[in-house]
């Protein structure tokens, strides 16, 4: 029988809480969502912007939670016969649990930040490190002030490797998170003009990303993108923070880990690379140059963490782009099929350019077209219209045949597009749905992308409902 994640005594001590009721001795997991809770989980009642977890304590206990971690000032509102660990502040208690989990761990830890590619890089690290030991990695994009401590608190004591994604919207947000995680290796995928609503310049964004160096363990390693315009600043900030080893990845041979040759195909790429002086050939099961570039950082970290490079390279063939982040679906149509690239989860200028490049590389059988359905990129501040308007350049370079634009900022792009590739402009995504369903045709490759708040995801689902994916049909 496997060891519990926490014993009750260790959990209560770490959270600085007191027990009430008939609390079980062992805790097998940690949950903050009563809907996905598994029997044996400890339910932590977090108060968020919209919901208060204390309202769901009864449901969590009914679902088999071993206990509920609750705030003392809410205790009188909760079921009297409940199983509780009581604290003054549940979010702070979860943070303490995370710190305790990190303190007891002997795992080698890697943390990832960057303007683009954090989640894909985190998932690739999970996949590659699993070939060499037990890996604990954050679920979804758990990269903020509650996601990071929750991920730490869930880390088993016997994990060999830990993989953490750390995000930010404002300066100062990374420091408390990385000081909890205390990584041995820190990766910055790239620094790009995102969250400009909250920053005066890209250099300010670089400074905020560089906060990740403040939590590196003594002797820790920083892995930086040699091709990024902010590289010199990031390296200076790393050295200034006391980082003794800075490694680089990039396309040119001057990077410590670099591409020697690569070939793209519809479902991915094959790569010849040099990783810290070691030659390796591998395949990546997700399309796009950005996946190739970030795989160099992943394999560099694999070496730094003491894992098996050859096995890690083989594992990348099983990598797939996640839903909303480049997932490719084949949608059968009456006279053939169309390929759908789902990039609907989020968007900024860098990820938009990367996605357009993937669309440009996609093979098309004429009269099929490369079709881009683009929604507003949010949080760009005063630069928003300019950054949207400039997308006509990568669209032209990618040879896109038709462009649908959604949102007030995308109107700046619409005005810059050649008339022959203008398909339709709409203020919101919902108004585009029927038109798009009626105009796509067999042979098309359709890429849908926009910030989450632009709600491009329902367009993806509408296409899949009208033309169910081939894999779903085969499974039915």
CATH topology of domain 105-318: 3.40.1190
Task: Reply yes or no on domain 6-88 having CATH 1.10.533.10.
Answer: no
pLDDT digits (tens, 9 = 90+) for 306-326: 999 999 999 999 998 878 888
Q: Among 287, 280, 293, which residue's Cα sits nearest to residue 226?
A: 293
Q: How many CB atoms lie within 10 A of CB 37?
A: 22
Reading the block at residue 192, the tokens are: 């790009």
Q: What are the distances in angstroms from CA 208 to CA 131, 211, 388?
A: 33, 5, 24
Q: Is the pLDDT of residue 147 over 60?
A: yes
What CATH architecture is 327-475? Alpha-Beta Complex (3.90)
Reading the block at residue 163, the tokens are: 């993989």
Let me know if the fold of 6-88 is the same as that of 327-475. no
Q: Is the pLDDT of residue 266 over 90?
A: no
Reading the block at residue 142, the tokens are: 């758990």
Give the list of residues 6+ apart from residue 93 with CB closer than 8 angstroms, or none: 15, 16, 17, 44, 69, 87
Q: Is the pLDDT of residue 473 over 50?
A: no
Full-model pTM: 0.83
pLDDT digits (tens, 9 = 90+) for 339-396: 999 999 889 998 999 999 999 988 898 899 999 999 999 989 899 999 999 999 999 9
Report the C-alpha dihedral over residues 177, 180, 185, 186, rounded to 10 degrees. Answer: 10
Domain residue spans of the chain: 6-88, 105-318, 327-475
Q: Among 87, 41, 80, which residue's Cα sits nearest to residue 60?
A: 41
Q: How many CB atoms lie within 10 A of CB 128?
A: 30
User: What secondary structure letter does DSSP report for 54?
Assistant: G
Percent of the chain with pLDDT over 90: 84
Reading the block at residue 333, the tokens are: 């149509």
**pLDDT at site 205:** 93
């Amino acid at each position: 029988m496997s060891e519990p994640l926490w014993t009750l005594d260790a959990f209560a001590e770490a959270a600085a809480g007191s027990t009430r009721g008939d609390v079980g001795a062992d805790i097998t997991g940690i949950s903050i969502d009563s809907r996905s809770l598994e029997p044996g989980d400890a339910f932590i009642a977090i108060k968020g912007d919209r919901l208060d977890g204390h309202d769901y304590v009864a449901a969590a206990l009914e679902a088999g939670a071993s206990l509920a971690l609750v705030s003392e000032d809410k205790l009188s509102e909760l079921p009297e016969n409940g199983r509780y660990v009581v604290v003054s502040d549940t979010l702070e208690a979860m943070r303490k649990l995370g710190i305790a989990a990190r303190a007891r761990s002997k795992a080698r830890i890697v943390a990832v930040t960057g303007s683009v590619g954090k989640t894909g890089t985190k998932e690739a690290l999970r996949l590659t490190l699993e070939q060499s030991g037990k890996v604990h990695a954050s679920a979804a994009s758990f990269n903020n002030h509650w996601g990071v401590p929750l991920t730490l608190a869930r880390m088993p004591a016997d994990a060999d490797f830990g993989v953490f994604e750390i995000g930010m919207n404002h300066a100062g947000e990374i420091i408390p998170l990385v000081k909890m995680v205390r990584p041995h290796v820190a990766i910055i995928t790239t620094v790009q003009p995102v969250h400009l609503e909250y920053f005066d310049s890209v250099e300010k964004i670089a400074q905020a990303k560089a906060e990740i160096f403040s939590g590196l363990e003594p002797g820790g390693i920083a892995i930086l993108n040699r091709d990024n315009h902010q590289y010199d600043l990031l390296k200076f900030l790393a050295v200034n923070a006391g980082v003794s080893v800075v490694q680089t990845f990039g396309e040119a041979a001057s990077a410590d880990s670099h591409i020697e040759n690569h070939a793209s195909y519809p479902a991915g790429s094959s790569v010849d690379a040099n990783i810290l002086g070691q030659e390796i050939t591998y395949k990546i099961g997700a399309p796009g140059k950005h996946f190739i570039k970030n795989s160099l950082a992943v394999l560099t970290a694999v070496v730094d963490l003491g894992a098996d490079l050859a096995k890690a390279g083989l594992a990348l063939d099983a990598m797939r782009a996640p839903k909303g982040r480049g997932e490719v679906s084949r949608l059968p149509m009456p006279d053939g099929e169309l390929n759908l690239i789902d990039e609907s989860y989020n968007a900024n200028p860098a990820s938009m350019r990367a996605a357009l490049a993937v669309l440009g590389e996609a093979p098309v059988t004429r009269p099929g077209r490369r079709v881009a359905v683009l929604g507003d990129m949010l949080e760009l501040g005063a630069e928003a219209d300019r950054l949207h308007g400039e997308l006509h350049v990568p669209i032209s370079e990618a040879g896109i045949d038709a462009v649908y634009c959604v949102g007030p900022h995308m109107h700046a792009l619409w005005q810059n597009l050649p008339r022959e590739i203008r398909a339709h402009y709409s203020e919101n995504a919902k108004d585009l749905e029927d038109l798009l369903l009626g105009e796509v045709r067999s042979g098309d490759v359709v890429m849908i992308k926009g910030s989450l708040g632009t709600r491009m995801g329902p367009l993806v689902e509408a296409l899949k409902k009208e033309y169910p994916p081939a894999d779903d049909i085969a499974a039915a």
